[in-house]
Amino acid sequence: MKKSLLIYWPKGGNVDRAAHRIASSFGGVTLQLVSDVDISTLAGYDLIILGGSTVGAENWEEAVESNAWGPFFHTMEKQGLRLDHTYVAFFGLGDHVLYPDHFVDGLGLLYEEFSKFGARLIGRWPAKGYDFTGSLGLDGDMFVGLALDEDHQPELTGGRIDAWVAGLKQEMGG
């Protein structure tokens, strides 16, 4: 059994609910809010899943500075953390109807921040089935992690989570 941690933020909304659904689909995953994570323990995990929402494209960079992800990434960098033996996957909540030009931008920003630590990044997800015009979470025709839209496609979330979790297990060799 792989030792797995799911880190998410914020608490109490769609990200929180999705985090719990992913953990229950996966089984045996520890859940922690990003503000509660002890960074010195991270290299002890085989898999780390990170999830967040997009809070507005214009102010995302500022938001990263002022929200709970900012101190998390700053501390990781300061400690010179390396995660060469850890698989890392991402999920992001967004709204493809109200924010089609910046759909799940936060997913791309989490990915970019985390790609500095040498981890094995897994869990790409096809961009088919969402109607949007731009996203920092997109790389070619794939998202860099699981994109979920609880505002407009809540009925698809359960199936997407189960399929994504199955894909992660496959990428890690079962």
Ligand X SMILES: Cc1cc2nc3c(=O)[nH]c(=O)nc-3n(C[C@H](O)[C@H](O)[C@H](O)COP(=O)(O)O)c2cc1C
Contact residues for ligand X, defined by CB under 6 A? 10, 13-15, 53-57, 93-95, 99, 102-105, 150-151
Min separation Cβ 62 and ligand X, Å: 13
Min separation Cβ 50 and ligand X, Å: 14
Q: What would the DSSP string read from start to end of the chain?
A: ---EEEEE-SSSSHHHHHHHHHHHHH-SEEEEEGGG--GGGGGG-SEEEEEEE---STTHHHHHHHSTHHHHHHHHHHTT---TT-EEEEEEE--TTT-GGGTTHHHHHHHHHHGGG--EE---EE-TT---S--TTEETTEESSEEE-TTT-HHHHHHHHHHHHHHHHHHTT-
Residue closer to ligand X (CB basis): 10 or 123: 10
Residue closer to ligand X (CB basis): 151 or 171: 151
Residue closer to ligand X (CB basis): 87 or 124: 124
Residue closer to ligand X (CB basis): 104 or 165: 104
